[in-house]
Amino acid sequence: MLRVTSIRRYPVKSCRGHETPSAVVQPWGLAGDRRWMLVGADGESITARERPELVLVTPELTETGLLLHAPGAHPLPVRIPTGGPPLLVTVFGNPLPAAPAAAPASAWFSAVLGTTATLVYLDDPTQRRPSPDHSLPGDRVTFADGFPLLLTTEESLAELNRLALTHPDSTGQPLPMARFRPNVVVAGEPAWAEDRWRRLRIGVAVFRSVKGCPRCVLTTVDPDTGRRGKEPLRTLARYRRWAGKTWFGVNLIPDTPGAVIRVGDRVEVTERADTSEPPPDPV
């Protein structure tokens, strides 16, 4: 039987996430997930792909906004911005307006990163649509890379670690799930079974599984040190590569906004692809 083993939110895009026993599912993702983001002077998003040290920044959600922590920096409370002119920002080629945080927040991040950075808040999460090829007209997404939620499975991680540990240059240390920054982790089916899931129910919440997740260099960043390595992309390229990309996890779009999901919830796969089909969405 499939069960939820972990629920995770990432308040600031590319910064450290946290586990939570439950979360409200909103149309654009889990409540509190990726509503904040850093941008450079040109308005382009700053992520841990370019600045891996971002994974060492820990944002806590508070009633009024965030409490930021980073090694060597004093904690900083940040309020959700209200009023003031919006700032045009860009996420993977998608321009949209966002509300800049007060100056101390941007100064704090600029000092931590050693470069100019502005913290922004997505005050209107109805602006951005996921890829039209894999979504309905009414679907929306926050500052997440492409889709409202990412789901991974314990069994697929275990199999990936088994394969990785056979490499002659293996460190002998298994990769943690934090490398993949999922929102929902489940267990109870064989490795890679999620490739063929198309619709599922988590507790009372219903989701479409619309696309496999191509993995990038961010997965090679150690979430505890901020240093880059070769895994998991080295092993994914050997065993999970098609269409020129490497794949781990699946992207979900919610169909029942307002529902609550909880650790321990039963997961029911209500629609699966035929086993004769190739892996999903090699695009």
Residue whose token pair is 């920054």: 181
Q: What is the pLDDT of residues 3-20, one digit of tens each?
A: 999 999 999 999 999 999
Per-residue pLDDT at 191:
98
Q: What is the pLDDT of residues 195-248, one digit of tens each?
A: 999 999 999 999 999 999 999 999 999 999 999 999 999 999 999 999 999 999
Per-residue pLDDT at 277:
52
What is the distance between the alpha carbons of residues 204 and 265, in angstroms, rounded to a whole number?
9
Other beta carbons within 10 Å of 251: 27
Cis amide linkage into residue 75, ω under 30° from 0:
no
**pLDDT above 90 for 276:** no
What is the distance between the alpha carbons of residues 32 and 247, in angstroms, rounded to a whole number?
26
Q: Please state the pTM of the whole predicted model.
A: 0.95
Q: To the nearest whole number, what is the mean pLDDT of the chain?
A: 95
Any residues with CB less than 8 A from the CB of 7 and at least 6 apart, and which?
19, 20, 21, 22, 23, 30, 183, 184, 185, 261, 262, 263
Q: What is the pLDDT of residues 118-163, one digit of tens each?
A: 999 999 999 999 999 999 999 999 999 999 999 999 999 999 999 9
- Domains of the chain in start order, with CATH, are 2-7+130-272 (2.40.33), 30-121 (no CATH)
Question: Is the torsion defined by CA of 244, 158, 155, 141 positive or negative?
Answer: negative
Q: What is the pLDDT of residues 115-127, one digit of tens each?
A: 999 999 999 999 9
pLDDT level of residue 282 (50, 70, 90 thresholds): very low
